[in-house]
Structure 1
Amino acid sequence: MSKILENLHRTLAAGVVLAIVVFLIVNLGGFDPGPYVAFLFRFIHVWFGILWIGLLYYFNFVQIPSMPKIPDEQKPAIGKVIAPTALYFFRYAALGTIAFGLITAAHNGYIIEALTFQPGFRTIGIGMWLALIMGFNVWFVIWPNQQRALGLVEADADTKKKSARTAMLTSRVNTMLSIPMLYCMVAQQQGIGN
């Protein structure tokens, strides 16, 4: 077991195998593949969303508040190793969340209704627009500014400082928007406020 858990890719593969085992157990009597495709898109959407918002909360609840407490000689480990890796997964989790969210909405036939706030789809529509704004912020504000702040692209000291602040404030905007966005996603599933 430790051979599996010592390697992230093996751990993820084991998780997929366990999910397949659960699927087989739950569907011993057979299953209708039609609804399962919609479920699979939603499942992948939620998985990416957990990764995205989990990293957003890691940055805002752990990394940003901890940085002033870290001795200067230890900060390069975060800026050169941990943050770039976390930002990689952060960006692509945002992309995966949005892509599979839109695929889910299109597959279930409500993408236009949601994005245009039609009755019955207003709550999910608001959530979708908040997620789109957040995704835009990740790729077009946070990431370019983090590249400068972390020294991944050339920038002078003043630009690095301004970029770090812009990235942090935009990340806080996303943290703020994540609360009503998550509310909308859950509320729609419960039929609240459509």
Structure 2
Amino acid sequence: MKKKVITIGAVSLIAFGLAGCGTNSRTDNNTNSSKTAAVSSSSESKYGFKDDILTLHDLTLKITKIELVKPGSQDYNNKWRLAVYYDLTNNTDKDINPLTAVLLMSAVQDTNGSQVDNLEVGASLNDNQELTDKQSDQIKKGCTAPGCVIYDLTNNTDKVTLNFENNGTKYGSKIIDLSKLEQVEDTEY
């Protein structure tokens, strides 16, 4: 619980610093595939989400691994969790850290015909303590640091959609078929 409070506090602090990370590109509501959709203001747009890479003026986020985490012995309300690992590159002199990704990503799970569940950011995995400890460290210009965001799932069967958005601009999405993911155990402290 302590890690969740720290994570939420850190995310709140960097929310103000991300106000300038957006671009002036418009949203394209037509998606070209069921797996990944990218937005562009022209056919040569350099910002967007494609092939698991989110490119913005200030940063580049590359998804490196996605895992399905089994309910553990810790107090997680017996929920399955989705672990999204990424590398985040700071392209400017702005204060950007691995937690910045939490502000750019959201996850939903379509669990029935009438509702879509907005997934909550969950507590960090216990076996990633070193990664967790560095989530709020600033990334220098031109450098890259790893990060991870955890989402508490409604179930372990229905697909999840990761949405990438900043300042009202939608950059794309990725549909995740949970049945195709590696299932991993969380560890205790």
Instruction: Using structure 1 for the length normalisation, give the TM-score.
Output: 0.24
Larger helix proportion of the pair: 1
Instruction: Using structure 2 for the length normalisation, give the TM-score.
Output: 0.25
